[in-house]
């Protein structure tokens, strides 16, 4: 008797390759970026791969020019992406604000490295967690996704394009040096099937509408049909600058409501609960790998502990976190910074004990360090 055993298809691949594949499969047709470690691999791969599907990739003269080209491309019909690291996000700041105000769909990959300033260009960190959320004027919400594996680097890049188009806003893919540049053996079947991401467009009428306040109007394609404006200033539905308090309030309330009201469409976590667990580990990004391993090892030793990996860092997935914290007494938060996301967990945790596991020396948090904190 012959047994037909199907052998899983596996490949040796890094997060950079997965992000590039995800972008192209989602329909990305334009990329611009400036070389910066550890994000340069995305620029190089996009320049090699995107012309094969009829897209355009450009190395800008600097970060400011690169994101500016992406905004122009997106407003004229392209699905655009850029990639940089912490110092580049600093230079992107004004254009990120422009994308929020002009309601421009754009995917921004931040491959984190150790800061501040030039910091450690080849050193891992998770220090941009608050930076990407609050790094531009006004404090208006953005969407930030954080992959914790190579397959998630693919799937969350695709999701970033979906959300950027759905909500007409910049969406960050917040990864890091180790996840982007380290090769891993991956089961090819772990990549989800993707049909591409469609853009909702209209071909006439005003470029903006805020009725109801949380609705997202289809985009007008700039350069098509009758002329209309684009501005970074406070504006009315026709994109004309205004000081009318009613119009100003409606615009700004819309920029908030279109994301905050639809948190259920954005919120993503990977939860693994243990019965009767009094402790839960909350992690994200590259640190989640050690967290998953620590939880699995402790369970083999008879320790009941739950695990939750946050995939949508912003807006904070409050519903999922509150549900996960039911019956929990201690929350362990490992991260490669001094507790940037822990402060958000503390706000939700009420009177529960919150324990941080932190490193800022360029090393990864180990399984043993997380296990020690759990114990």
Give pLDDT tens digits for 60-98. Answer: 999 999 999 999 999 999 999 999 999 999 999 999 999
SS3 for 183?
A: coil
The CA radius of gyration of the chain, in Å to the nearest whole number, is 21
Mean pLDDT calculated for residue range 13-28: 97
Tokens of 298: 């402790």
Residue 225 above 80 pLDDT?
A: no
Q: What is the pLDDT of residue 45?
A: 98
Give pLDDT tens digits for 156-201. Answer: 999 999 999 999 999 999 999 999 999 999 988 888 888 888 898 9
Nearest to 258 by CA among 143, 138, 157: 143
CATH of domain 10-190: 3.40.50.970
Mean pLDDT calculated for residue range 40-56: 97
Residue 4 above 60 pLDDT?
A: no
State the angle between helix axes of 86-102 and 63-75 in degrees (0 to 180), rounded to the nearest 10: 30
Query: Is the CATH number of domain 269-374 3.40.50.720?
Result: no
- Residue 8's pLDDT band, with cuts at 50, 70 and 90, is confident
Q: What is the pLDDT of residue 46?
A: 98
Residue 1 above 50 pLDDT?
A: no
- The rounded distance, in Å, linking the Cα atoms of 152 and 19 is 9
Nearest to 43 by CA among 27, 56, 25: 56
- The rounded distance, in Å, linking the Cα atoms of 176 and 92 is 18
Give pLDDT tens digits for 244-275. Answer: 999 999 999 999 999 999 999 999 999 999 99
Nearest to 341 by CA among 130, 142, 171, 145: 130
Where do the domains of the chain lie?
10-190, 269-374
**DSSP per residue over 285-338, as a string?**
TTHHHHHHHHHHHHHHTT--EEEEEESEEES--HHHHHHHTTT--EEEEEESSS
Mean pLDDT of the chain: 95
SS3 for 373?
A: helix
Nearest to 17 by CA among 77, 83, 63, 69: 83
Q: What is the pLDDT of residue 226?
A: 78
Burial 241-260 (b: 16+ CB within 10 A, else e): ebeeeebeebbeebbebbbe
Tokens of 207: 């470029």
Tokens of 21: 């594949």
Phi and psi, residue 357, nearest 5° = -120, 115
- The rounded distance, in Å, linking the Cα atoms of 346 and 350 is 7
Whether the domain at 10-190 and the domain at 269-374 fall into the same CATH topology: yes
């Amino acid at each position: 008797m012959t047994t037909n055993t199907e052998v899983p298809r596996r490949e040796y691949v890094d997060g950079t390759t997965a992000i590039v594949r995800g972008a192209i499969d989602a329909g990305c047709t334009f990329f611009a970026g400036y070389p910066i470690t550890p994000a340069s691999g995305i620029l190089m791969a996009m320049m090699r791969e995107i012309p094969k599907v009829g897209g355009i990739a450009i190395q800008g003269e600097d970060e400011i020019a690169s994101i500016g080209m992406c905004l122009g491309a997106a407003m004229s019909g392209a699905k655009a992406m850029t990639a940089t690291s912490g110092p580049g996000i600093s230079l992107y700041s004004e254009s990120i604000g422009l994308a929020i105000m002009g309601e421009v769909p754009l995917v921004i990959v931040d491959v984190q490295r150790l800061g501040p300033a030039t910091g450690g260009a080849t050193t891992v960190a998770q220090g941009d967690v608050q930076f990407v959320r609050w790094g531009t004027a006004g404090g208006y919400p953005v969407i930030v996704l954080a992959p914790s594996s190579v397959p998630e680097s693919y799937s969350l890049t695709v999701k970033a394009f979906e959300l950027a188009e759905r909500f007409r806003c910049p969406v960050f893919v917040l990864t890091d040096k180790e996840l982007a540049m380290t090769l891993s053996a991956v089961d090819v079947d772990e990549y989800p099937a993707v049909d591409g991401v469609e853009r909702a467009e209209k071909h006439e009428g005003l470029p903006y509408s805020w009725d109801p306040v949380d609705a997202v109007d289809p985009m007008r394609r700039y350069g098509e049909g009758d002329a209309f404006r684009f501005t970074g200033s406070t504006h009315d539905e026709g994109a004309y600058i205004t000081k009318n308090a009613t119009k100003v309030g409606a615009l700004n309330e819309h920029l908030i409501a279109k994301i905050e009201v639809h948190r259920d469409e954005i919120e993503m976590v990977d939860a693994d609960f243990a019965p009767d667990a009094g402790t839960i580990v909350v992690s994200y990004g590259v640190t989640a790998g050690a967290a998953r391993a620590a939880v699995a090892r402790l369970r083999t030793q008879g320790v009941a502990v739950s695990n939750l990996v946050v995939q949508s860092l912003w807006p904070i997935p409050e519903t999922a976190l509150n549900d996960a914290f039911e019956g929990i007494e201690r929350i362990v938060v490992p991260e490669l910074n001094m507790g940037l996301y822990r402060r958000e967990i503390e706000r939700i945790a009420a009177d529960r004990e919150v324990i941080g596991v932190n490193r800022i020396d360029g090393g990864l948090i180990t399984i043993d360090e997380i296990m020690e904190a759990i114990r």
